[in-house]
Structure formats: structure tokens, C-alpha cells
């Protein structure tokens, strides 16, 4: 039998939650040193502390560190590829994303995570707010600490 929590080995802790009970526990990136046009594999580990009343949607962005410009935005998807209303409390949900950096110019970037409470036609007003471990609001965009260096 595997020990509890082994699925989070080799990931970086985030431990940020939303007001709905949806929590981002950790993340893993395949590399932080990339060439323009490379693929970046991102895995997020989610959990909910209670049954969720809505199906939330997720968007991943790659943002320029210096100016905050968005160089890549994914389509809105269900975290973990299935509706959040079906998630069981206190169970990990792995959420895999293959990000193709075809239009990203050389520079320094961060990955941003936004979660929306909407079915279609989501607007910025539909974003959930992230909180840190002490309950302080982080905002509606969660920047992962990893710094991505893209070279020619």
C-alpha cells in the first residue's frame, strides 16, 4: 500500500484555497528552462474540503514577469477534466496541462491560475478569490512561484 499523500511527492506546495472550499495544494512543472516553441507540462493537485455546489472552470495563463502581459491563455476547462460537483471531499484531483509555448518570445514568465464560477461565456466578474493559509486574500489570480526562463 502506498502511504497517504505520496501522489504529492516531488511537487511544490501552494496550499491556497478559494471561498468555495476548492483548494490548490501543489503543482509540478516539467522544467523551468525552455526554448521558444517548447512544450511545458504542468500538473496541479486540487482538493475540496466540502462538497462543491457548482462546476468551476479553470484557465491557465503564462505571463511576462516584468509587464504582466499574457502570452498564453488556455481555454476554460474543468479542473481535473471532470465537473467539480462530482469531486469527493478530501480526495486529490490531478489536473494535467500541456502548454505549447509557440508564440512566447524569450524572457521570464510565471504561470497564473484563475478559477471561474460559470458554465459558458465567463467574465472576469465570475472569478473566484484565492486565500493563503492564514486566510488573507491573495486575489482572483494565483501566480505560481516557479519562474520560467525562455531562451531562443
The CATH number of residue 111's host domain is 2.70.50.60
The predicted structure's pLDDT at residue 120: 77
Residue 96 lies inside a defined structural domain of this protein: yes
**Digits of tens for pLDDT over the chain (152 positions)?**
544 555 566 789 998 999 999 999 999 999 999 998 999 999 999 999 999 999 999 999 999 999 989 999 999 999 999 999 999 999 999 999 999 998 899 999 999 999 999 877 899 999 999 999 999 999 999 999 999 999 98
Integer CA distances (angstroms), 11 to 8, 14, 94, 146, in order = 6, 9, 12, 11
Q: What domain range includes position 25?
A: 6-151
Integer CA distances (angstroms), 78 to 6, 34, 90, in order = 24, 27, 18
The predicted structure's pLDDT at residue 119: 79
The predicted structure's pLDDT at residue 100: 94
Q: Kind and range of the H or E element at 128?
A: none
Residue 13 lies inside a defined structural domain of this protein: yes
- The domain tally of the chain equals 1
Model pTM? 0.91
Residue 81 lies inside a defined structural domain of this protein: yes
Closest residue by Cα to residue 49 from 25, 31, 84, 22: 22
The predicted structure's pLDDT at residue 137: 97
Residue 17 lies inside a defined structural domain of this protein: yes
The predicted structure's pLDDT at residue 6: 55
Q: Which residues pair with 127 in a beta bridge?
A: 116
The predicted structure's pLDDT at residue 18: 96
Closest residue by Cα to residue 99 from 31, 44, 42, 24: 42
98, 130 Cβ separation under 8 angstroms: no
The predicted structure's pLDDT at residue 152: 87
Residue 65 lies inside a defined structural domain of this protein: yes
Residue 12 lies inside a defined structural domain of this protein: yes
Residue 87 lies inside a defined structural domain of this protein: yes
Residue 1 lies inside a defined structural domain of this protein: no
Amino acid at each position: 500500500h502506498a502511504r497517504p499523500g505520496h501522489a504529492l511527492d516531488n511537487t511544490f506546495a501552494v496550499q491556497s484555497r478559494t471561498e468555495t472550499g476548492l483548494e490548490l495544494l501543489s503543482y509540478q512543472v516539467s522544467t523551468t528552462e525552455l526554448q521558444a516553441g517548447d512544450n511545458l507540462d504542468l500538473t496541479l493537485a486540487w482538493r475540496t474540503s466540502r462538497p462543491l455546489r457548482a462546476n468551476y472552470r479553470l484557465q491557465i495563463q503564462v505571463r511576462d514577469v516584468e509587464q504582466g502581459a499574457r502570452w498564453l491563455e488556455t481555454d476554460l476547462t474543468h479542473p481535473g477534466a471532470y465537473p467539480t460537483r462530482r469531486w469527493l471531499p478530501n480526495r486529490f484531483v490531478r489536473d494535467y496541462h500541456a502548454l505549447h509555448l509557440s508564440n512566447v518570445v524569450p524572457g521570464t514568465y510565471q504561470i497564473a491560475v484563475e478559477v471561474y464560477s460559470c458554465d459558458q461565456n465567463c467574465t472576469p466578474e465570475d472569478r473566484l478569490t484565492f486565500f493563503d493559509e492564514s486566510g488573507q486574500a491573495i486575489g482572483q489570480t494565483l501566480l505560481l512561484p516557479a519562474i520560467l526562463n525562455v531562451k531562443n
